[in-house]
Amino acid sequence: MSIDARKIRLIMQLRRSGVTDTAVLAVIERLPRELFVPRSFLDQAYEDMALPIGSGQTISQPLVVAMMTQALELHDRLKVLEIGTGSGYQAAVLSRLVRRVYTIERHRALLHEAEARFTQLGFHNITTRAGDGTKGWPEQAPFDRILVTAAADGDIPKTLTDQLALGGIMIVPLGNDRRDQRVYRVRRTETGLQREELWPVRFVPLLPEPVAVPVARARSS
């Protein structure tokens, strides 16, 4: 089966599974996911499954990427913080839908690979940092949207909700047991934070260990 045929099959699967945002579907259809997976998994790039990318991390299942992106309620004037760059695939999806993406990864090797992909694809509205994602990026706060791509143990980190703008939305998985994790949508309103449970999911844990020295790399247009 050709790559185009596999993409079409994947998009149809996503539609049947509840992804209705046509902008999100269009980005996923256009973005070459095969560039974000290890060479040994190229034949599975358009299967609806998570795949290992090294350092104990995975590239998320396309359905999870699509549903979490859709839940953020995006438009092209937003500034978004992503916690957990991984392969860079989720950040790449976000970058096609919003004004600017800030993304943090604690594994330098993964971050360097993701940065190379962003450069290859000509994506200039993504700013990266190696460091502790649980601390967020206070120098660039507040953010209109925050997406956490690892499961927080216990409650939502206050360091992250403090960086969410008024009217902003955060999507975050919660749960220290991978068999019992849930995705939550958090909105900051004038009266405080509103939390809504969305669906069950499985993510790697959100870990606080920092990389030695945080480094930011901005991409200018």
Please write the tens of the pLDDT for every residue from 19-44: 999 999 999 999 999 999 999 999 99
Marked catalytic residue, from 17, 60, 87, 220: 60
Q: Confirm whether 87 is a catalytic residue.
A: no
Tokens read off for 25: 């579907």
Report field, pTM of the whole predicted structure over 0.85: yes
Report the topology of domain 3-217: Rossmann fold (3.40.50)
Beta-bridge partners for 176:
none
Domain ranges of the chain: 3-217
Instruction: Compute, in degrees rounded to 10, the torsion defined by CA atoms 113, 90, 202, 162.
Output: 110
Please write the tens of the pLDDT for every residue from 111-165: 999 999 999 999 999 999 999 999 999 999 999 999 999 888 878 889 999 999 9
Report the candidate in 69, 35, 67 with the shortest Cα–Cα distance to residue 48.
67
| Residue 96 and residue 27 in contact, taking contact as beta carbons nearer than 8 Å | yes
